[in-house]
Amino acid sequence: MQENRIWSPEETLDREQFRDIQSKRLKEMVQRVYDSVPHYKKKFDTMGLSPADIQSVDDLSKLPFTTKLDFRDNYPYGLFAVPQKQVVRIHASSGTTGKPTVVGYTKNDMEMWKEMIARLVTMAGVTDEDVAQISFGYGLFTGAFGLHQGLEHVGATVIPMSSGNTRKQIMVMQDFGTTALISTPSYALHMAEIAKEMGIDPKKDLKLKWGLFGGEGSTEAMRREINEAWGLFATENYGMSELIGPGVSGECLALKGMHINEDHFFPEIIDPETGEVLPPGSVGELVITTLSKEALPIIRYRTSDITSLHYEKCDCGRTTVRMAKISGRSNDMLILGGVNVFPSQIEEVLFNVDGIGPHYQIKVYKKGHLDRIEVDVELVNADLLDSFSQIENLNQTIRQRLRTVLGIDAKVNIMQPRTLQRFEGKAKRVIDLREE
Ligand code: DLL
């Protein structure tokens, strides 16, 4: 492991200490939402639940879940627990349909957020020696502003680059001496491609050391590709607007899962079908309760993200629970001829085939009553296009692997290099035509 620094002593508490803090904060928080958020008061009253019924984290499962629908029904500020006067910042996540999800922060929330990010960037290797280029879009999205405050807090030199204008990103990296890149993993891959096109050899011409990637999933194969392309050490971090934005969890340099800031965000794993809480290590839907948020405290938020929780102490010395890579969103799962598959599993297969690049698109449609899938991939090297037999072989290899590894039969389309769409923020890999 490379340099290992720990930002805050709270990251190394023992399990009993965590439990005490979590239980104390949970009790206070439940009383607060009951007193100040009509939505929760109504829910509690309907269930015959009183705040006094919650004495410790063991009582958590008595509490109702909160879902994206609750945000929609209370749009824009209905779930806020403080008067607007105390809200100092608004962010929102762009809903794919309809209105965005609006979130707010008090001054204390902003301080807490900054601390959470300071923990995560420190565990990802960043120090006050680093020059951090933030290539997330600045605006209502929580990614850029969230990382920004925490990076400044640890003393890094922050370049608020925003996303897009990729050639300029590379120029800035080179001229300003960027050592840490902050973006989505898919944008990092795209930027690497442009750097190459510009005749830049990242390992020789740039000083990049760390990559902090989040906002969307990525596979281990994609991490290898990014590390290789940039010559940096990539870690991943996770969060969502409804909970705070980035800062819920992040990987340390041991790469053994993402450490959850569990003194502020209490995680559970549930069976997405039944809502039942599952034991440590089980794979299921992540549910998070915020323990200290003031403006927008949330009880048992169903994230839809599929992962598992691991409580053993990490090699880095942190004792905070770790969550495994997100394997998909419960509503992203494709069911193809009875076989359940997540797009991330298809990605893992594709990344391991030589000759095709890291960009792909999955199309799902109906043929009769059956779900069908097509996978578009790109060649790395255009020369291959001249050889029909080589293309055909490659096509068969990919089909075969998808069949043997995942049990799905996909039509594979091999395209010329640089034909598929590139993304500057979160990638959209799946086009589902079944609804139409
Ligand atoms: O994406 C917050 C964030 C920004 C996290 C920058 C990390 C870095 P939302 O736009 O509300 O918030 O999207 C949240 O993105 O429920 C996941 O499905 C997905 N997501 C975020 N990070 C990861 C990750 C931000 N590391 C939704 N792996 C979440 C997989 C991720 N999915």
Nearest residue (CA) to ligand 1, atom 29: 240
User: If you ran DSSP here, which 8-state letter would residue 404 be given?
Assistant: I
Write down the pLDDT at residue 1: 47
Q: Determine phi and psi for 321, rounding to 5 degrees.
A: -60, 145
CB neighbour list of residue 344: distance below 8 Å, 6 or more residues apart: 217, 219, 326, 327, 328
What percent of the chain has a predicted confidence (pLDDT) above 70?
98
* pLDDT of 114 above 60: yes
In the numeric block, the tokens 């020059």 are attached to 131
* 199 CA → ligand 1 middle, Å: 32
Q: Closest Cα partner for 270 from 285, 283, 282?
A: 285
Nearest residue (CA) to ligand 1, atom 28: 217
Could you tell me whether strands 370-379 and 356-367 are parallel, antiparallel, or unpaired per DSSP bridges? antiparallel
Pairwise CA distance, residues 247 & 236, whole Å: 11
pLDDT tens, residue by residue, 117-161? 999 999 999 999 999 999 999 999 999 999 999 999 999 999 999
pLDDT tens, residue by residue, 12-65? 999 999 999 999 999 999 999 999 999 999 999 999 999 999 999 999 999 999
pLDDT tens, residue by residue, 365-406? 988 878 899 999 999 988 888 888 999 999 999 999 999 999
Average pLDDT (83-89) is 98
In the chain, how long is the greatest CA-to-CA distance?
73
Predicted TM-score (pTM) of this structure: 0.94
The answer to whether the CB of 238 falls within 8 A of the CB of 214 is yes
* 240 CA → ligand 1 middle, Å: 5
pLDDT tens, residue by residue, 97-107? 678 999 999 99
CATH fit for domain 334-432, picks 3.30.300.30, 3.40.50.10320, 3.40.50.970, 3.10.105.10: 3.30.300.30
* Domain pair 1-330 / 334-432, same fold: no
* pLDDT of 436 above 70: no
Write down the pLDDT at residue 96: 57
Write down the pLDDT at residue 336: 82
According to CATH, the topology of domain 1-330 is: Rossmann fold (3.40.50)
Average pLDDT (77-90) is 98
Cα–Cα–Cα angle for 285, 287, 292, nearest 5°? 160
Which residues lie across from 376 on neighbouring strands? 361, 413
* 213 CA → ligand 1 middle, Å: 10
99-103, 249-253, 267-271: the lowest-pLDDT one: 99-103
pLDDT tens, residue by residue, 330-358? 888 888 877 889 999 999 999 999 999 89
Pairwise CA distance, residues 179 & 333, whole Å: 36
Write down the pLDDT at residue 2: 56
Extents of the domains making up the chain: 1-330, 334-432
Could you tell me whether strands 180-183 and 131-134 are parallel, antiparallel, or unpaired per DSSP bridges? parallel
Q: Which atom of ligand 1 is nearest to the CA of 303?
A: 16
What percent of the chain has a predicted confidence (pLDDT) above 90?
89
Write down the pLDDT at residue 97: 60
Task: Write down the mean pLDDT value for the chain.
Answer: 95
DSSP, collapsed to helix, strand or coil, labels residue 35 as helix
Is residue 217 lining ligand 1, measured as CB closer than 6 Å?
yes
pLDDT tens, residue by residue, 294-340? 999 999 999 999 999 999 999 999 999 999 999 988 888 888 877 88
Is residue 142 lining ligand 1, measured as CB closer than 6 Å?
yes
* 95 CA → ligand 1 middle, Å: 13
Is residue 183 lining ligand 1, measured as CB closer than 6 Å?
no
Nearest residue (CA) to ligand 1, atom 18: 305
Q: With bands split at pLDDT 50, 70 and 90, how would you rate the model's confidence at 176?
A: very high
Which whole-number Å values give the CA distances from 290 to 19, 112, 144, in the listed order? 14, 12, 21
Nearest residue (CA) to ligand 1, atom 9: 240
Pairwise CA distance, residues 327 & 347, whole Å: 11
Which whole-number Å values give the CA distances from 159 to 119, 182, 239, in the listed order? 19, 10, 22
